[in-house]
Structure 1
Amino acid sequence: MKLEQLKISGICEPMGYHLLKPVLSWKVTGAKGQRPVHASIDVTRHGDDKTILFHKEGADLKWEGTRLDLALSPRTKYEVKVSVKDDSGEETCGYTFFETGKMQEAWVGQWIGTKDQKVHPVFRKQFSLADFEAGRLYIAGLGLYEAYLNGEKIGNEYLTPYFNDYAETVQVQTYDVSPLLKEENTLDIYLGKGWYSSRFGMASQCSFDEYRLIAELHIQHGDAKETVVATDTSWKYTGSHVVNSGIYDGEVFDSCSNIEKSEWHSAVLIEDELGKLVDRYSLPIVKKQELPVKEVICQADGTLILDFGQNMAGWVVFESFLEKGEQLHLEFGEVLQNGQFYNKNYKTATGGFTYISDGKPKLVRPHFTYFGFRYVKVSGCIDQLKPDHFTAWVLYSNLDDTGFIETDHEKLNRLFQNCVWGQKSNFLDIPSDCPQRDERLAWTGDAQIFAPTASYNMDTQAFYRKFMWMMRTAQMHRQGGVPAYVPESFILCDSAAGWGDAATILPSVMWEYYQNKEMLQEFYPMMKDWVDYEGKQIEKTCGRKYGLWTEGFQFGDWLALDGFSEQEFKGSTPDEYMSSMYYYNSLKLICRAAQTLELPEYEYYKELEEKQRTCLLDEYFSPKGHLTVNTQTAYILAIYFDLYRDYQVLVSDFIKQLRRDKYKIKGGFAGGPILCQTLAKCGRGDLAYHFLLNEEYPGWLYEVNHGATTIWERWNSILPDGNINSMGMNSLNHYAYGSVCEFLYKYMAGIQSGKKGFKCAKIAPVISPFVRHVKAKYDSVFGKYEVEYSLLDDGKISIRVEVPFGCTATLQLPETSQSIPLCAGVYENTYQPEKDVRCMYSQEAFLSDVFQNQEAEGLIMKEIGMALMFRNPDNSFRQVFDLYELIPMGFEPQKIGMVVAQLAKIKSY
């Protein structure tokens, strides 16, 4: 038995994080028993293992998260010991630590800057030490910084101090520099513009215009004394090798200048106020993977195109053997057009990376920007270049992988990987919309729709905590409203439904997946203020806090296909319907949160929820239960949010709406990402698989067939002829529609949370004859669930389920009425389902699928030859029961019935 993944507030061994209420979690693996019978936690201060600062024990300690109630001191390391005993009598221990940052401690260091803002500065401080035991560096440099001690880079993270709402707060990072200290020391800090002072945001404007640095290096000596090296006017600065940089504008790096021989100037103090210095929230951005060049394409103009085979975000790093003064210029793109380099969809973010050599061999990389790309155009001195000189560094926040899915359907596997790569590319400190063009903003609407999928793929609790902290900060200045993206570079619009509702949806998703009550409590005020804001908007026109939200700008069903044309930004679902529905959903979510936290306002919000429900039913549903807004997204939201008079009537009408839409996806950001989940929820897994596996436009596998390695922003980002859509708003690396992977985890694999999150899970796979083998895992905060099943040649189903230590699950055997309670351990069974799962052509099967089967097509040709008229692509929505439409043409009902019956017996394998 082992204790693994010991985390503090979702982070392994955090140093310098904002941890006012630290929460300890751990996982047990390899246990002989099934559940814990006793556990204990002890916390001590580093160097004093005899004084127990916190102790807790019992049979019911929460390994998904136990709050450590102790008074924390600044710049202090705490060591944690966890002991667990299981029901077999086996015992084990695990250890971790966390270290606080400066907290509220006053700073000795001062903000320093430069007289000349034109150069990218490097600040230097030299100092001597007679003896030393340990050192900690506390630092924030704006816009971005890289710190070096005695020529060695401090830490393995990049783009620090990350994305901040600089007028409000600036994050401070803490580093252990003990191994780098010497008797004679040189501390160099390089600064770049970053999000802080390069053009950024919807207005592409610069928010700030001066470099800033504040730092304290605390050095512990053997006599228990401390030396502090802090920023002040004794520091010197000069221009660095970085000539220019910007998040959108790339970077120019000139190695020819000799910093050591440059003129060094005294730093100047900066008195202007900026945001408050706070301990960090952001996870480190690190190099998570390296990708080699897959192909080199020579262009007629003498340039080279490097194809890394995968759309991603990060850097291209290369070995330089150039002579002094020679240059290389790298440009970045996502797609080729007619074999040529293309990046017009980047709009103005096409600066790329330029390197000017000093003649010394070295490994070259950018420092203060990042790029989204698959293809890299290389120009300049390329004669001696080799493909193995270049490597792509995949950069994103240091999140642990928690999910994995593999099937016997290769295109479905590619879709899953596209989703994961979309998350990797857009989880650089914030959940951005895209990593390449002149946008890269943390849109709240994208974040909330993708959060369930993201939290299956990776451990997101610390990542989203940072984002929600930024949301809450922005909300405080908007009377409860939440902006469309945070932090705002300028006021884009009034707070909009679906986007602002991230304030209630994100905390609710975090609670479902991680059961961290402290986090729910931390962001409950954000939930409450947003719901109150929505109520006030409705009150302006209705005179009460329930009704239709009709005022102000709304994004609606963004980039849906059922607008005036498929190129419109907005679909046909009325704004007031969507905004009012989202308000209803947020009322439901805050009721659940208030009930979980045992807050007295639960009754108030519950009454408001019921009134809003009644209002929506009266406005949008007929007395018999028919929804009066006939769009795909309208039905999806009603079913997804559980709003109906008669559930069966609503579901039946939803299917009729899909047929009117010829079973083509019409929904945008609000409806499209949750279409398959909604169909599975209402018992139509067959249709969910139809949309999932559809290879024609629009659809997820349409993208795969067009070479996508990430998720597109638009369903038609690339047209059927292979050309990129020229209508703008065209990123090939957005993650919103990747939310379909929630269907893969939750329904295809069947791994679902229960009333206590994933401590008591439900395993209920929804199977399809078109996907015969599925293997999935989800390493939840409670432990790892695994589900694997196969549809065997003899019609039986083989299934294997693994339930983690301390957890229980209910297994619903696919295609049976049998439900089996499971304890921790492995369950395997091979059984005969209640229906033959090999038979795939029911009356609701699509004729386009039937015609792909040689036996089925032959049967139809022999008996009802005229039915081949349905092979026309315009009739791809036709189903087997449509064969009865041929009766007026002289075909006997009995004969058609016989064909339908025979089709139902044809097996897929």
Structure 2
Amino acid sequence: MTARPVALDAEAPRGTSFVATPTPRLSWRTETETPDWTQTAAEVELSSAGQTRTATVDSSDSVLVPWPFEALAPGQDAAVRVRVTGSDGVTSDWSEPLTVRAGFLPEGGWRAEPIGLTSPTRPAEPGLVRTEFDLPAPVRRATLFATATGAYQVAVNGTDVDDQVLKPGWTPYQYRLIHETTDVTALLAQGRNAVGIRFAGAWATELFGFRANARRVYAEQPSVALQLIVEHTDGTTTEIVTNGTDGTWRAGHGPITASGIYAGESHDARLDLPGWSAVGFDDGGWSPAHPAEPTLVPEPRTSPPVRRIEQLAVVEVITTPSGRTVLDFGQNLVGRLRLTVSGPAGHTITLRHAEVLEDGELGVRPLRAAAATDTLILAGVGEQVWEPEFSFHGFRYAEVDGWPGEFDPAAVVAVVIHSDMERTGWFTSSHDLVDRLHENVVWGQRGNFLYVPTDCPQRDERLGWTGDIQVFAPTASFLFDSRTFLSSWLTDLALEQRGADGVVPFIVPNVLGPARPAAAWGDAATVVPTVLLERFADRRTLEAQYSSMTAWTDLLLGLAGERHLWEGRFQFGDWLDPSAPPDRPAEAKAHPDLVATAHVFRSADLTARAAAELGREADAVAYREHAEQVQAAFLAEYVTPAGRMMSDAQTSYALALVFDIAPPDQHAALGARLADLVRENGYRIGTGFVGTPIIADALTRTGHLDVAARLLTQTECPSWLYPVTMGATTVWERWDSMLPDGSINPGQMTSFNHYALGAIADWLHRTVAGLAPAEPGYRTLDVRPRPLPGFTHARAEHRTPHGTAAVGWSREGETLTVTATVPPNTRARVVLPGTDEELTVGSGTHSWSVPAPAPARTPGPVDLDTSLAAVIDDEEAYATLLRVLGEDSPEAAEAVRTHTAWVPGRTLGERLEMAAGGATKDRLAEAYAQLSAARGH
């Protein structure tokens, strides 16, 4: 079958054909049923202004291929198509043409001035501005360039210009402002026309900071700027720009009376102004728009816009113990409510939002200072459809107060909003709770990828914490096409870092004051560009961020000094280790200096690798030497010759192993001690933000897959699956954000939608299913599935830059079947379970059968003289212990569960000497005797 190139892409933001650069990179995927197909060459054709040019790509490159033509001119339209020649010697037909439009202005071409309300009466006041103008000739093409310090929407002749939400999003406004580019040709005509802009403060006027430190960082009032370029059929051009000097733009107030990201939005429908953005509206009562503070010249958008992605219906209407009406949407989400309602004029409906219920009521304490409340005052003119426009909430539950008449749940839907990224990754297995965990990770990314990769979407925070995205970037890049989203955010990181003398702030954009260095947080500067190279083959972003990488690494090397150890300074450390007190989340088991020095090594190592990738050989040698110096210092300070960490914590061992700090001859000892620590802790998680993403890898690499499986499938608190058993539909910030009794964690910082601990999903994809990149952009796949004990199947599918790849395995009796789909123009290195041999296969669908891994050994007899280690390893014996203890004393059962070190040198009887009475021990001995007899002992 002839190959067919599809999915041609030129780096335009999703849903638009406008590109932000004169030389966009091109990518295409090829579909073919020819096995082992590779591209040997490609032709790219460009058609523009009646001329056609063709360029040849004499290689197999098909991902982010450099633009092979002269640079696009501002406003230029072009059609691009491609055809490929394969290793079979056959040349394909041409692909469908892709329209490419240069969505940027020439140098010095931005002439719009920011404008706002004339005399605002309070900070962050929403408003409207409008103008009318004449077009002297028929319209050939009209392009709108617009932005805001705040959030905005433009309507032309009464119609909104697009479906984007909260644009232009949040960037560090003092360094970078984004504009949208929109084709509005269809909305204009010769003669009289009108443009209106509605706007609010959003992030630009929000009060950032905690408690008494909250302040406005960017602006007191929102402002907007617009430039409309209309090209006529007679060759002339009309240009409309915002300005606050000639009175052509008028400003007034609309129905949005208050709006904030944290507070929510208030809408008085009695103030609706029908036709305000259309020709003929009487704006005589409005004032001339006021010139706002000058802003930066905005850049064209490169990242995905935010859109309304889906709607969820009410699952249940709850009447709380206090008599309030609460709607359950069955899913913790990010967005807002849309109401369809009618009622008397002046009647007020109030909506409050929260992620959980506590004692049957809306659980609002975790929101802290965020009111998360919307209000609608009805106009009394029939049925009204309304949703807030310039705010959003993180919620599963919404309390509705003041609904007129009998409430109909069909009258309310939850509108899910987030950055509009293509879904690219899926995972399924035979374990229902693990599958739900994975789905929770997906929803966590959806909720927190809203222009900025945030920590949480609900409380008075919603900030771009660098540590969270540093650990989650690999997972994010598998689940969604996150490349341009993260690349744009990295641009902001570099700008903030440059303004802080090389220090990467805790958050980007930074609104929390002077930047300070913190390990694992600032390392986003080196980790995230590396991930984009690994997952998307994005060398341009690596090149663009290289100075950021070196600046951060140089800073760390300076902090490490002559000892090559980062010691004695502020650190977040292994943040939210489950043993840390609720209000002291940095007090982890792993010593913060060890965590810090491990990250000095990691950033130096990644910077050396980036330098080599970019051909900067001298830098590569220098940073490799630095990394080796830090490695030697780390090993001398923290690792004994016998393979024991001086900070004897799960995270410490995981860092030494997964960051490749420890030499191979120590891996066995380090891995064995890590496995012992996990068992001693009852196979419950003992790591925080730093250790959690890597502990399963550390166990797997050192031959303890069974321990990693027990850790993954644990349902006791703390564990990945404990929140799932508690009904979670997103990943929690804390392992115990909700306590087993249904109460909310007493700490001041508690969120039920945080993706950081969901970084385990990357291990599910790469290791459990066995689908990983062996070369940048999955040019070569690493197919290496590791079937977990107790699982009968698992499968991962990922839409790589070259096409859809999939790896799965299933266990039937004594046979394990592995299947793999390898996209055209790629190959795969395959290591089957139970073997060390590496196979290499080309594109196509493959299947292998191998002997299934031997089942775990049959458990032996158990009694009170059985060691604690043997009891915890025997899941049935452990469950029997907790059952019998719990029947007599739930408190004793909980104490044994949470305060026992499950070690081999101590018997169960010894542990129960002070924890259980004689009658209880007798009953347990009898239960164990029955269990042993049933096992044939």
TM (norm. structure 1) is 0.91
Q: Distance in 1 between matches of 2:422 and 2:826?
A: 21
Which amino acid in structure 2 is aligned with residue 836 of structure 1? A
Match of 1:593 among 610, 629, 634: 610
Deviation at 1:878, TM superposition (A): 8.5
Deviation at 1:15, TM superposition (A): 4.6
Q: Distance in 2 between matches of 1:622 and 1:301?
A: 60
Q: Which residue of 2 aligns with 1:39?
A: 41
Match of 1:275 among 284, 296, 309: 296
Tell whether the 8 Å contact from 2:682 to 2:902 is kept in structure 1 after alignment: no
2:233 aligned with 1:222: yes
SS in 1 for 2:327: strand
Match of 1:577 among 579, 594, 605: 594
Residues 189-214 of structure 1 show CA distances to partners (whole Å, capped at 9, x for unaligned) of: 00101100132344432221133221
Aligned alpha-carbon RMSD (Å)? 3.1
Match of 2:659 among 641, 645, 665: 641
Q: Which residue of 2 aligns with 1:4?
A: 6
Q: Distance in 2 between matches of 1:873 and 1:685?
A: 28
SS in 2 for 1:711: coil
Match of 2:754 among 729, 734, 739: 734
Counterparts in 2 of 1:102-113, with a 5 A limit?
Answer: 102=105, 104-113=107-116
Residues 774-814 of structure 1 show CA distances to partners (whole Å, capped at 9, x for unaligned) of: 1220111122111222111x221122211111111122222
Q: Which residue of 1 aligns with 2:101?
A: 99
Which amino acid in structure 2 is aligned with residue 150 of structure 1? N
Q: Which residue of 2 aligns with 1:209?
A: 220
Deviation at 1:578, TM superposition (A): 1.3
Q: Distance in 1 between matches of 2:37 and 2:301?
A: 36
Counterparts in 2 of 1:566-715, with a 5 A limit?
Answer: 568-599=585-616, 600-645=618-663, 646-715=666-735
Counterparts in 2 of 1:713-752, with a 5 A limit?
Answer: 713-752=733-772
Deviation at 1:391, TM superposition (A): 1.1
2:305 aligned with 1:284: yes
Deviation at 1:737, TM superposition (A): 0.3
SS in 2 for 1:191: strand
Q: Distance in 2 between matches of 1:479 and 1:23?
A: 32
Deviation at 1:127, TM superposition (A): 2.2
Which amino acid in structure 2 is aligned with residue 169 of structure 1? R
Q: Distance in 2 between matches of 1:772 and 1:651?
A: 26
Identify if the C-alpha distance between structure 1 residues 309 and 538 changes in structure 2 by more than 3 Å, giving closer, same or farther. same
Tell whether the 8 Å contact from 1:201 to 1:441 is kept in structure 2 after alignment: no
2:329 aligned with 1:297: no
Residues 543-583 of structure 1 show CA distances to partners (whole Å, capped at 9, x for unaligned) of: xxx61112542111111123467964431322221111101
Which amino acid in structure 1 is aligned with residue 130 of structure 2? R
2:165 aligned with 1:158: yes
Q: Which residue of 1 aligns with 2:466?
A: 444
Q: Distance in 2 between matches of 1:697 and 1:41?
A: 57
State how many pairs are aligned.
Answer: 878
2:200 aligned with 1:192: yes
Identify if the C-alpha distance between structure 1 residues 238 and 715 changes in structure 2 by more than 3 Å, giving closer, same or farther. same
Tell whether the 8 Å contact from 1:841 to 1:903 is kept in structure 2 after alignment: no
Q: Distance in 2 between matches of 1:776 and 1:37?
A: 25
Which amino acid in structure 1 is aligned with residue 635 of structure 2? L
Tell whether the 8 Å contact from 2:23 to 2:66 is kept in structure 1 after alignment: no
Q: Distance in 2 between matches of 1:391 and 1:138?
A: 32
Q: Which residue of 2 aligns with 1:894?
A: none
Which amino acid in structure 2 is aligned with residue 379 of structure 1? D
List alignment gaps of at least 5 residues for structure 1: 862-869, 890-897
Residues 78-123 of structure 1 show CA distances to partners (whole Å, capped at 9, x for unaligned) of: 3321111233425132232332212534223222222212342211
Q: Distance in 1 between matches of 2:654 and 2:935?
A: 30
Q: Distance in 1 between matches of 2:504 and 2:139?
A: 49
Match of 1:315 among 331, 336, 345: 336
Identify if the C-alpha distance between structure 1 residues 904 and 185 changes in structure 2 by more than 3 Å, giving closer, same or farther. farther
Q: Distance in 2 between matches of 1:470 and 1:97?
A: 29
Deviation at 1:274, TM superposition (A): 2.5
Tell whether the 8 Å contact from 1:172 to 1:280 is kept in structure 2 after alignment: yes
Q: Which residue of 2 aligns with 1:127?
A: 133
SS in 2 for 1:594: helix
Which amino acid in structure 2 is aligned with residue 72 of structure 1? L
Identify if the C-alpha distance between structure 1 residues 901 and 507 changes in structure 2 by more than 3 Å, giving closer, same or farther. farther
Give the percent of matched residue pairs that are identical in Structure 1 and Structure 2: 27
Tell whether the 8 Å contact from 1:561 to 1:567 is kept in structure 2 after alignment: no
Match of 2:821 among 802, 805, 818: 802
Q: Bigger shift: 588-597 or 200-209?
A: 200-209
Identify if the C-alpha distance between structure 1 residues 903 and 64 changes in structure 2 by more than 3 Å, giving closer, same or farther. farther
Identify if the C-alpha distance between structure 1 residues 727 and 347 changes in structure 2 by more than 3 Å, giving closer, same or farther. same
Deviation at 1:19, TM superposition (A): 2.3
Q: Distance in 2 between matches of 1:128 and 1:39?
A: 51
Q: Distance in 1 between matches of 2:540 and 2:868?
A: 48
Tell whether the 8 Å contact from 1:559 to 1:571 is kept in structure 2 after alignment: yes
Residues 316-345 of structure 1 show CA distances to partners (whole Å, capped at 9, x for unaligned) of: 112122232222111001111122222111
Q: Which residue of 2 aligns with 1:554?
A: 571
2:347 aligned with 1:337: no
Q: Distance in 1 between matches of 2:934 and 2:831?
A: 29
Q: Which residue of 1 aligns with 2:76?
A: 76
Q: Which residue of 2 aligns with 1:787?
A: 807
Which amino acid in structure 2 is aligned with residue 731 of structure 1? S
Q: Which residue of 2 aligns with 1:48?
A: 50
Identify if the C-alpha distance between structure 1 residues 479 and 269 changes in structure 2 by more than 3 Å, giving closer, same or farther. same
Identify if the C-alpha distance between structure 1 residues 903 and 676 changes in structure 2 by more than 3 Å, giving closer, same or farther. farther
SS in 2 for 1:411: helix
Deviation at 1:290, TM superposition (A): 1.3
Deviation at 1:758, TM superposition (A): 1.4
Q: Which residue of 1 aligns with 2:278?
A: none
TM (norm. structure 2) is 0.88
Tell whether the 8 Å contact from 2:154 to 2:197 is kept in structure 1 after alignment: yes
Deviation at 1:301, TM superposition (A): 5.2
List alignment gaps of at least 5 residues for structure 2: 274-280, 861-866, 885-891, 914-928
Counterparts in 2 of 1:170-569, with a 5 A limit?
Answer: 170-183=177-190, 184-202=192-210, 203-207=213-217, 208-232=219-243, 233=246, 234-259=248-273, 263-268=284-289, 270=291, 272-299=293-320, 303-358=324-379, 359-491=381-513, 493-539=515-561, 542=562, 547-563=564-580, 568-569=585-586
Q: Bigger shift: 594-603 or 808-817?
A: 808-817
Q: Which residue of 2 aligns with 1:61?
A: 61
Deviation at 1:820, TM superposition (A): 2.8
Q: Bigger shift: 822-831 or 630-639?
A: 822-831
Q: Distance in 1 between matches of 2:650 and 2:334?
A: 33
Identify if the C-alpha distance between structure 1 residues 901 and 839 changes in structure 2 by more than 3 Å, giving closer, same or farther. farther
Q: Bigger shift: 388-397 or 546-555?
A: 546-555
